[in-house]
Amino acid sequence: MKLHQTFLLGLSLAGTVQLVSCNSKTSNENQTMKTEQEIERESTDVHSFARPTEAVTKHLDLDIDVNFDQKVISGRATYQIENLAQADQIVFDTRGLEIEKVFLGDSLTETAFRLGSEEKFLGQPLLVDITPSTKSVTIQYRTTPEAAALQWLSPQQTAGKKHPFLFTQSQAILARTWIPIQDSPGIRITYSANVKVPKELMAVMSAENPQQKNSTGEYRFFMRQPIPSYLMALSVGDLVFAPIGEKTGIYAEPATIKEATYEFAEMDQMLTAAEKLYGRYRWDRYDLLVLPPSFPFGGMENPRLTFVTPTVLAKDRSLTSLIAHELAHSWSGNLVTNGTWNDFWLNEGFTVYFERRIMEELYGKDYADMLQVLGYQDLQHTLEDMEKKDDTRLKLDLEGRDPDEGLTEIAYEKGNAFLLNVEKTVGRERFDQFLNKYFQTFAFKSTNTDRFLEFLRTELIKGDEKLAEQINIEGWVYSPGLPEEHVKPSSTRFAQVEEAFKSWQSGTPAASLVTKDWSSHEWLHFIRLLPDELSQQQLAELDKAFGFTRSGNSEVLAAWFLHAIRHNYTTADQAIDTFLTTVGRRKFLVPLYRELLKTPAGKKKALAIYAKARPNYHAVSTGTIDEMVK
């Protein structure tokens, strides 16, 4: 199938050549210089052993048992397959799995299998003997306690403190650590699952979910829309459900549900706004699962059930753009999926753009502008800090590396900046029409950078050379850094923050600044404006006036703690310790540990805290921090 699509792409690219053949320096020309092999290479997933053009999975029936005592998931994964090339083998991805037996067909005839040699990051291929007429393959397996996707939490690590908890994190290539699977975002499957858990707990998945605990501990799930493997998700815990709207609701521990329903009360409006922008929501329901604080990400867009960190529970709905982001993935990512991790910007860049459009619909342009400016600041820092300049291109080359390395602000904020540039060039109306068509055309398909750009050329540029030049595909997608002509966002609300800041710098006491009605975004901007040189007195003054160290807003805390560490403001030590030992969100942990590690005294603190905190972190976070403290 992949081959076929590549071939089509090659043909249509050739068509484009003639149109622009007289123009010597367009991005189109650059495209035409790609050989068939290069195009083929770019659509192949270097992070999967699967060979989907030969034999590919279409549907999964998962039948598993979740054992909290042993910290093991065990059972069977039965795949409906398509043998496209009369292949005598089908290849799955595994990492750290124990494969016990493999069977073929409804008769469950045992078949031979072999695990290939282990490769760094990728794990081992599972090669299963099949025949040209094989319709299904059943793999009996068990996970090991080290499975990187899984975090097994003790009761102490939960909000309720009474029951254990489990959650998975499959993106980017961790699904293979808890299910033997063709673990490539270019391959989609539907699934059903039978999941057996301890009777006092409830299971939820990225699928049709129960809304109540049952007495048997056995749960049945269906995902009827085809999804890529990185969206396979499971969580088990003492969960309750609370509805928000008709099609929306929240799962959380009983101790958290009330706060969560207040915080996310607007999810229904978000869904309405999103549908208005880019078309019907295709996944029936949209629910949230609020996880314990060790969840390594802010949010994860598992279809029908976004997983979300409790660090967005700020009590004032100030951090809900994260929900808009994960919801937006229901289009950009889950519906139209990056075909390989080199095309990750197609997921995240589009989602950031879409997220801010949703926020603009709900809260107005002033609000969305603040998000744009904060994102632009993040992008500038990333561009300054990144050592590998090639990784500042949108289209990445992650061969031989962990796809995690592509998880930078480049995909998010440079991706968004590129789309803002296209929007500005063609106007919002035309761009929205284009995006609508894009989501419709590629719905339930995986795509890649080349295919998207081809669509951009045929649907938007349409041979207009001046437009092609303005859009500057080559500069944005294939070149490092940020093209000169990018949109520089500005914010009127932040202009007021800058006024206040200047006034403080020229002597107005912090307590007299006019900060009424500031949201956490304004505070974040204010804290980011603080200079490298700050006296203890100044820090104390700010802290006294604004209560930063005691803030209930995780973004404000994380930004403030950076200054506290940098200036050895010991008043915040205890709060930093508490934050680092309870929160497992990597985005917060990494900058704080990095700052601590800069001085010998800080390093001592960091190591002491990490020794305590490490058991509370998910493998995704320890993987990064282990490297930093080494």
Q: Known catalytic residues?
A: 326, 412
How far apart are the C-alpha atoms of 99 and 9, rounded to whole Å?
38
> Which C-beta is closer to ligand BES: that of 39 or that of 335?
335
Tokens 């002033």 appear where?
A: 366
Q: Check residue 618 for interaction with ligand BES (CB under 6 A).
A: no
C-alpha dihedral sign at 583, 585, 590, 595: negative
Of residues 278 through 297, those in contact with ligand BES by CB under 6 A are 297
> Which C-beta is closer to Zn ion: that of 372 or that of 549?
372
Choose among 215, 212, 199: nearest CA to 164: 199
Q: Check residue 95 for interaction with ligand BES (CB under 6 A).
A: no
Q: Hey, what are 91's tokens?
A: 């290849």
At its nearest, how many Å lie between ligand BES and the CB of residue 396? 12
What distances in angstroms separate CA 154 from CA 69, 196, 515, one per listed residue? 10, 19, 42
300 binds, among Zn ion, ligand BES, none (CB under 5 to 8 A by kind): ligand BES
At its nearest, how many Å lie between Zn ion and the CB of residue 8? 29
At its nearest, how many Å lie between ligand BES and the CB of residue 162? 28
How far apart are the C-alpha atoms of 87 and 80, rounded to whole Å?
15
587 binds, among Zn ion, ligand BES, none (CB under 5 to 8 A by kind): ligand BES
Q: Check residue 372 for interaction with ligand BES (CB under 6 A).
A: no
Q: Check residue 617 for interaction with ligand BES (CB under 6 A).
A: no
Backbone angles phi, psi at 118, to 5 degrees: -70, 130
171 binds, among ligand BES, Zn ion, none (CB under 5 to 8 A by kind): ligand BES
Of residues 316 through 335, those in contact with ligand BES by CB under 6 A are 322, 325-326, 329
Choose among 54, 62, 61: nearest CA to 80: 61
> Which C-beta is closer to Zn ion: that of 348 or that of 360?
348
What distances in angstroms separate CA 24 from CA 110, 425, 479, one per listed residue? 60, 22, 18
Long-range (24+ apart) CB contacts under 8 A made by 536-539 are: 536/567, 536/569, 539/563, 539/564, 539/567, 539/569, 539/571
Are 240 and 270 spatial neighbours (Cβ–Cβ below 8 Å)?
A: no
At its nearest, how many Å lie between Zn ion and the CB of residue 590? 17
Does the N-terminal peptide bond of residue 601 adopt cis geometry, omega within 30 degrees of 0?
Answer: no
Site mask, Zn ion, residues 323-352, x = CB under 5 A? -------------------------x--x-
> Which C-beta is closer to Zn ion: that of 326 or that of 474?
326
Q: How many CB atoms lie within 10 A of CB 242?
A: 15
At its nearest, how many Å lie between ligand BES and the CB of residue 323? 9
At its nearest, how many Å lie between ligand BES and the CB of residue 312? 9
Site mask, ligand BES, residues 330-369, x = CB under 6 A? ------------------x---------------------
> Which C-beta is closer to Zn ion: that of 57 or that of 448?
448
At its nearest, how many Å lie between Zn ion and the CB of residue 203? 25
Q: Check residue 57 for interaction with ligand BES (CB under 6 A).
A: no
Q: How many residues does the chain have?
A: 630
For residue 177, count CB atoms less than 10 angstroms from its CB and return exposed for 0-12, middle for 13-18, buried for 19 or more: buried
Running DSSP on this structure, what letter comes out for residue 187? -
Are 312 and 143 spatial neighbours (Cβ–Cβ below 8 Å)?
A: no
525 binds, among Zn ion, ligand BES, none (CB under 5 to 8 A by kind): none
Q: Check residue 521 for interaction with ligand BES (CB under 6 A).
A: no
**Mind spelling out the 3-state secondary structure of 7-28?**
HHHHHHHHHHHHHHCCCCCCHH
Q: Check residue 298 for interaction with ligand BES (CB under 6 A).
A: yes
Q: Check residue 149 for interaction with ligand BES (CB under 6 A).
A: no
> Which C-beta is closer to Zn ion: that of 351 or that of 616?
351
The footprint of Zn ion (CB under 5 A) covers: 348, 351
